[in-house]
Structure 1
Amino acid sequence: MTRISTDVCVIGAGSGGLSLAAGAVQMGARVVLIEGAAMGGDCLNHGCVPSKALLAAGAAAEARRRGGMGLRPEVPAVDFAAAKDHVDAVIAAIAPHDSQERFEGLGVTVIRAMARFTSPREVEAGGHLIRARRFVIATGARPVLPPIDGIARVPVLTNETIFALRAPPEHLLILGGGPIGMEMAQAHRRLGCKVTVIEAAQLLSREDPEAALVVTDALAAEGVMLRQGQAVVRLRPLPEGVEAVLADGEVITASHLLAATGRKPMLEGLGLDAAGVAHTAQGVTVGAGLRSTTNRRVYALGDAAGGAQFTHLAGAHAGVVIRQILLGLPAKAPQRVPRVTYTDPELAQAGLTEAEARAAHGAALTVLRQPFAGNDRARTEGRTAGFLKLMVVKGRPVGATLVGPGAGEAIAFWQLALTGRVKLSTIAGMILPYPTRAEIGKRAAGAYFSARLFDNPAVRRVVRLVQRLLP
């Protein structure tokens, strides 16, 4: 067995692990990176990249189907296999950036094998025994199948397998009405598949209910069949697919079944007990700085650290860990992370939702709402569904909910405003190009001050006085 001594050993070559490895080696540290599956992790191979590429293919089909503004609607001739070729091509174009060759070129020692701790300070992988000053667990997460009677007897797709389909599902039954389920529902429906989504609780339950309704109404209008508040109690295999029985007795048959009911950190087989690393089913037990509470040489980031499961959060975690293990500086993981559901319309959230803000701030909260129906750019495009909802406390935004076309791009401004504690007066006073959808933010900020200016007796008295005094 080959022995390797290093400064940093990163376990997992997904978004967070790659960001940390690249940053650390370029700052002068010796780095070993271990990956037992595909470089790039879930995001590149089974998650963010393929799902958004498939959504883009569906959007192209929907544009032809919708027509309008002088163009006749037409039924698109969908080539499902070609749509999957597009997905594969996008992955292939991004893959070199995450490749073993690139990281070895940076100076990282890359080991393609499964890792297992043998002691609090050593890891074995692929015939190598790695001794490191610091270990970083960045193993990501994998799908969890719901405990439904009969699920072990039926073929179940997950995000790790659905993108391999080359023929369109005749009827795709999706368990789970969260972001993954809703995105896959719309993409497949637009590509010609019959789709049913079943959610035991509420569709997009984490999101602002009013904003979620805009999305669910849009999917329903496109023909996605939605069931919420009804759990599947039994599954049975059929020669042509699968049968699902709901709690209310409804029976749904489908050709394919997709489980989009959550994910859990991949910690099995890591030997965390041998390393003295405390952990639960939710992830490694870490402090505010992502350091293990029981082994100070070990950190965890991204999905492995528990909490929100976002690629961009894993990347942010990498910076938090780098500041500590390379520069010796204190750092804490961010608490408020923006998120986007990439349906059409998109639903984006930065900071607190209305419900969260009311619970945190009570009567001090002001909620401002601006619909896209009053936005001139939205009118020119014929895409007026959606709105901005802005949560304000003492003249500063504490949260923004945005639902509409391009909401995922537009939420960047509000995340910056929240991070920089920008005053609403600054937003109201900025000059924006006309016409743009971004104007609804300026209009919302202006509305906050309008009541204080236009319906204020004191302001009226000052104006009358000034008018008498001016020459």
Structure 2
Amino acid sequence: MDVFLGRGKFISENKIKVGDNVLEFARAVIATGGQPSVPPIPGVDTIEYLTNQSLWNLTELPAKMAVIGSGPIGCEIAQAFALFGSHVIVLNRSDRILGKEDHEAAQVVRESMESCGVHFMLGVSYTSIGYVDPTKGKAGGIKIVIEHAKEKKVEELIVDDVLIATGRKPNVENMGLEKAGVKFDVYRGIEVNDYLQTSNNNVYAVGDCCTRYQFTHMADAMARMVIRNALFFGRAKCSDLVIPWCTYTFPEVAHVGLYEGDLQTRRIDYDVIKVDLDHNDRAICEDETRGFVKMLIKKGSDQILGCTIVSENAGDQINEVTLAIQTNTGLGFFAGVIHPYPTIGEAVKAAGDAYNRTRLTPVSKALLRRILSARR
């Protein structure tokens, strides 16, 4: 393998220039990732703000921190710094946190974050942001001016640091993609087909530069797929992937499949099987009963369409549900799978038990009573 260090740029449909080297290729893969997306708040370009990338360069704990954005990154870091001892305020335009997650799951996380000391100011717009004293810079504090939508009230906040966590955008500019015949959008990224080919069939793309599923494990799955498709005549499809994800707050929120909103939009009839952790012995022992397992199943069957788990190790527990969806294993099957006792994972088995109980119709119950009575 030859490694060329430097900034790469396409100069034609089959050539890349790296420094003074011009490389001709039969196949190429674009894996340039993404970067933090910064909203156009007046004055934001005049201050030194933090992102999920620059945050790790901090050498001192900020006494007071503002987090702009309440998605996964914003919530994870806000809760962590509150536990470290910072006074943390989360600001968001929407009136709820974790806007893409299940409403009940988001509410559990919010209550947990508040118990850790995180303060929320939701439903706000940003008027301006800047240094309190430009001559002192960050050392003099950062002033954020916000307006509360409902009260129409303007408020000023003075903080030591500002973390901007309003999503990510793809790295697609200044790469010569136009010369390579690769179509792209600066917001949505590189256009790819189901085999991860770009508009140039000999150029593939993987990861944050071309997908809305911006997770490390998704980039890994896409990279494996491109190796098969580009080098070994494979026909693996991205649409066949079952993609789980997890938000690493406390408790964690893990999800796989469709949400209720997705099912309603697609007009798919479904049933909800929910098991709260306040009936789980391990959760009771650890005094962590805030959480649940929620299964969305196709109406009239046990086919799993989606699942949300809220618990201390939800990211580990979602794996067996992902496997079930991938292999088309029904929810009822879990009732017969032995889980170690006591574990939070038993809640998944309890969901299988709960589904099986729904199959006991009045007629089947009456029949069962007769059978048991006859065997006495």
- Is TM > 0.5 for Structure 1 vs Structure 2? yes
What is the 5 A alignment of 1:15-34?
none
Whether the 8 Å CA contact 1:354–1:367 is kept in 2: the answer is: no
How many residues matched?
Answer: 360
Deviation at 1:120, TM superposition (A): 0.6
Secondary structure (helix, strand or coil) at the match of 2:27 reads strand
Match of 1:300 in 2: 205
Give % identity.
35
Deviation at 1:187, TM superposition (A): 1.1
Match of 2:348 in 1: 441
Whether the 8 Å CA contact 1:392–1:399 is kept in 2: the answer is: yes
Secondary structure (helix, strand or coil) at the match of 2:157 reads strand
What is the 5 A alignment of 1:250-399?
250-281=155-186, 282-293=188-199, 295-334=200-239, 336-362=242-268, 364-393=269-298, 394-399=301-306
Q: Which of 9, 12, 16 does residue 123 from structure 1 map onto?
A: 16
Whether the 8 Å CA contact 1:233–1:245 is kept in 2: the answer is: yes
- In 2, distance between residues paired with 1:123 and 1:276? 13
Match of 1:235 in 2: 129
Q: 1:428 to 1:465 in 2, by over 3 A?
A: closer
Deviation at 1:225, TM superposition (A): 0.9
- In 2, distance between residues paired with 1:448 and 1:356? 22
Deviation at 1:456, TM superposition (A): 2.0
Q: Which of 208, 213, 216 does residue 107 from structure 2 map onto?
A: 213
One-letter identity of the residue aligned with 1:154: I
- In 1, distance between residues paired with 2:168 and 2:339? 41
- In 2, distance between residues paired with 1:424 and 1:276? 46
- In 1, distance between residues paired with 2:211 and 2:340? 41
- In 2, distance between residues paired with 1:118 and 1:143? 27
Whether the 8 Å CA contact 1:157–1:257 is kept in 2: the answer is: yes
- In 2, distance between residues paired with 1:458 and 1:186? 49
One-letter identity of the residue aligned with 1:440: A
Deviation at 1:221, TM superposition (A): 1.2
- In 2, distance between residues paired with 1:446 and 1:276? 54
Q: What TM-score do you get using the length of structure 2 for normalisation?
A: 0.92
- In 2, distance between residues paired with 1:117 and 1:452? 60
Match of 2:73 in 1: 180
Whether the 8 Å CA contact 2:335–2:349 is kept in 1: the answer is: yes
Contiguous gaps of at least 5 residues in structure 2: 134-139, 149-153
Deviation at 1:466, TM superposition (A): 5.7
Secondary structure (helix, strand or coil) at the match of 1:116 reads strand
What is the 5 A alignment of 1:64-213?
108-201=1-94, 202-213=96-107
Deviation at 1:415, TM superposition (A): 0.9
Match of 1:460 in 2: 366
Higher helix share goes to which structure? Answer: 1
- In 1, distance between residues paired with 2:184 and 2:242? 23
Whether the 8 Å CA contact 2:242–2:325 is kept in 1: the answer is: no
Whether the 8 Å CA contact 2:331–2:351 is kept in 1: the answer is: no
Residue 401 (1) aligns with residue 295 (2): no
Per-residue CA deviations over 1:77-131 (Å, capped at 9, x if unaligned) read: xxxxxxxxxxxxxxxxxxxxxxxxxxxxxxx222221101111100011221111
Deviation at 1:443, TM superposition (A): 1.1
Secondary structure (helix, strand or coil) at the match of 2:232 reads coil
Whether the 8 Å CA contact 1:357–1:399 is kept in 2: the answer is: no
Higher mean alpha-carbon deviation, 444-453 vs 400-409, is at 444-453
Per-residue CA deviations over 1:379-414 (Å, capped at 9, x if unaligned) read: 111111111111111211111100111111111111
Deviation at 1:465, TM superposition (A): 4.5
Deviation at 1:164, TM superposition (A): 0.4
Deviation at 1:374, TM superposition (A): 0.5
Whether the 8 Å CA contact 1:233–1:247 is kept in 2: the answer is: yes
- In 2, distance between residues paired with 1:300 and 1:388? 35
Deviation at 1:236, TM superposition (A): 2.3
Q: 1:376 to 1:275 in 2, by over 3 A?
A: same
- In 2, distance between residues paired with 1:165 and 1:152? 20
**Which 4+ runs in 1 deviate beyond 3 A?**
358-362
Contiguous gaps of at least 5 residues in structure 1: 1-107
One-letter identity of the residue aligned with 2:350: R
Whether the 8 Å CA contact 1:158–1:260 is kept in 2: the answer is: yes
- In 2, distance between residues paired with 1:227 and 1:243? 15
- In 1, distance between residues paired with 2:80 and 2:73? 11
- In 1, distance between residues paired with 2:211 and 2:358? 44
- In 1, distance between residues paired with 2:173 and 2:93? 28
One-letter identity of the residue aligned with 1:125: V
Match of 2:322 in 1: 415
Q: What TM-score do you get using the length of structure 1 for normalisation?
A: 0.74
Secondary structure (helix, strand or coil) at the match of 1:378 reads helix
Q: 1:119 to 1:451 in 2, by over 3 A?
A: closer
Per-residue CA deviations over 1:164-193 (Å, capped at 9, x if unaligned) read: 010111111111101111111011111111
